[in-house]
Amino acid sequence: MTTYLNHFIGGTLVEGESTRTSPVYDPAKGTVSKEVRLASVGDVDTAVSAAAAAFPAWRDASLAKRQSVIFTFRELLNARKSELAEILTSEHGKVLSDAAGEIARGLEVVDFATGMPHLLKGEYSENVSTGVDVYSVKQPLGVVGIISPFNFPAMVPLWFFPIAIAAGNTVVLKPSEKDPSAANWLAELFLEAGLPAGVFNVVHGDKEAVDALLEHPVVQSISFVGSTPIAKYIYETAAHHGKRVQALGGAKNHMLVLPDADLDLAADAAVNAGFGSAGERCMAISVLLAVDSVADELVSRIAQRMSTLKTGDGRRSCDMGPLISKPHRDKVASYLDVAEADGATVVVDGRAIEVDGDADGFWFGPTLLDHVPLSSTVYTDEIFGPVLSVVRVSSYAEGLEIINNSQYGNGTAIFTNDGGAARRFQREVTVGMVGINVPIPVPVAYHSFGGWKNSLFGDSKAYGPQGVQFFTQEKAITSRWLDPSHGGLNLGFPEHD
């Protein structure tokens, strides 16, 4: 009997009017676990209407009440995070330890959101003119839309909705149809924490649902994470319809290794950052820029470490799981043929590996390519899989130039023991997030996440101070309480005295 995943609207599960569905796979088995319902325009409107109806009461709820609900949600999520990790592994394929790490990073944003009463404080200027005070307040936008990707079905929504809700907004979340169950689980948990029905809604779907959110006149903002072409489309479409937009796009993250670096540390970092979550993350290191004098030794150490990795079912204590789907696995594998045709060396081939898992799983092992030319699509494309490309450079200057010439500017890292080189790199590199001997420089929750260039569309990064600013609008009030003895008419332009 087929299991269907419904929408979560107004505090309850809803089938919706659409009869379209999409299969949800267990990537480690290659089998369909359920069918997810795909929303129609009408279904999206139902969710937006539920969020709009819930907004006035939630906006007017005291900061203490909102904070109490966020705290309770935080405690419930922390207590039951193993349940969520199992859901992530069963639908995305990432190993359980990686799923637990994803949830932990999402919890950091929930922790940050518990401090919203402090973050919403405005400013006050007394007696700017005689008897006149000016102060500002931060107020919620209204109904906000969130469109999240398949690679982090828990963490990415958690980047947005705790801050949006703590600030007094109501939410419609459209998760990826490839691994949608985590979104329902989070929404139901928030309801259990005391969140009023309709404040947090989930609609499942494809482009029809996405476009309905982008065009809906009641939706005030859109938050998105995904590939660069889609991020650009989201930004342009939503902005055209008058919405505030934060659209985080793709990446091709470089790691520059200088001759004085600790090569063991660099090799460990390259493996961890290149193959964690099967390389399906926008902060993965996919290009290793190795200075010629240490390149051979570094490639050798990385290959040795890769030989110890175990690929298989994420529920079996493996190091790396499958890719999200068979078409994506096949696309990633096709880049190895391209690499060989373009003159690169396949040092470690992920196409033919032994796996600890079902033969029908979407398997592709860790892959290492050396001498990758900059003209190859292996270098220029965001492959989004466990493929690490080594590009050899003569110097720091050449490595920096390559990074800065990239269309992407999400994350980057430098490995060196030279403080001067590191300081110069952080100032000169045109990338939004920089690691110094740290391969994946994802900021903690009280800083903001986002890249430069074609890795970010819109003016706002995710979470942190910019996240609070994105989900609120400032109102300035100029106030005068007149003394009873003061009065009179004056039609001139107001002047400060």
Query: What's the pLDDT tens digit per position in 406-447?
Result: 999 999 999 999 999 999 999 999 999 999 999 999 999 999
Mean pLDDT for 7-13 is 98
As a whole-number percent, the residues of the chain with pLDDT over 70 amount to 98
Rounded to whole angstroms, the Cα distance separating 339 from 345 reads 7
- Residue 33, SS3 per DSSP: strand
Contacts of 93 (CB under 8 A, 6+ apart): 26, 27, 28, 278, 314, 321, 322, 323, 324, 361, 362
Among residues of the chain, what percentage have pLDDT more than 90? 96
pLDDT tens readout for residues 295-306: 999 999 999 999
DSSP one-letter code for 196: P
| Residue 271 predicted with pLDDT over 60 | yes
Active site residue 282: yes
| 8 A C-beta contact, residue 54 and residue 198 | yes
Helices and strands counted in the chain (H then E):
16, 23
Rounded Cα distance between 50 and 44, Å, is 10
Average confidence (pLDDT) over 451-470: 97
C-alpha 35: how far from its chain's center?
25
Q: Mean pLDDT, to the nearest integer, of 288-313? A: 98
Average pLDDT, the chain: 96
Is-contact 35 24, C-beta < 8 A?
Answer: yes
Q: Are 98 and 82 in contact (CB under 8 A)?
A: no
Residue 191, phi then psi, degrees to nearest 5: -65, -40
Residues in Cβ contact with 435 at an 8 Å cutoff, skipping those fewer than 6 apart:
411, 412, 413, 414, 441
Order of all β-strands in the sheet with 253-257: 345-348, 367-370, 387-393, 285-291, 253-257, 411-415, 433-436
Written as six digits, the tokens of 410 are 């999400």
pLDDT of 486 > 90? The answer is: no
Kind of pairing between the strands at 170-174 and 143-147: parallel
List, in order, residues 6 or more apart from 489 with CB less than 8 Å away. none
- Alpha carbons within 13 angstroms on the beta-carbon side of residue 496 total 7
**pLDDT, tens only, 44-96:** 999 999 999 999 999 999 999 999 999 999 999 999 999 999 999 999 999 99
pLDDT tens for 370-418 read: 999 999 999 999 999 999 999 999 999 999 999 999 999 999 999 999 9
Where residue 194 falls among pLDDT bands split at 50, 70, 90? very high
What pLDDT, on a 0 to 100 scale, did the predictor assign at position 424? 98
Task: Tell me how far CA of residue 405 lies from CA of 172, 295, 374, 409, 455, in angstroms.
Answer: 37, 22, 11, 10, 13
Q: How confident is the model at residue 215 (pLDDT cuts 50, 70, 90)?
A: very high
**Local structure of 435: helix, strand or coil:** strand
In angstroms, the CA 94 to CA 85 distance is 9
Which entry of 270, 282, 287, 456 is annotated as an active-site residue?
282
Contact 122, 137 (CB under 8 A): yes
CA–CA dist 267, 382 (Å, integer): 22
**Quick one: pLDDT at residue 352?**
84
Gap between the Cα atoms of 41 and 48, Å rounded: 11
Residue 493 has pLDDT above 90, yes or no: no
Residue 497 has pLDDT above 60, yes or no: no
Place of tokens 């928030």: 190
The answer to whether residue 363 scores a pLDDT higher than 80 is yes
Contact in structure between 442 and 283 (CB atoms under 8 Å):
yes
> Could you tell me the pLDDT band of residue 487, with boundaries at 50, 70 and 90?
low
State the pLDDT confidence band at 494, using cuts at 50, 70 and 90: low
Residues 449 and 461 sit within 8 Å (Cβ to Cβ): yes
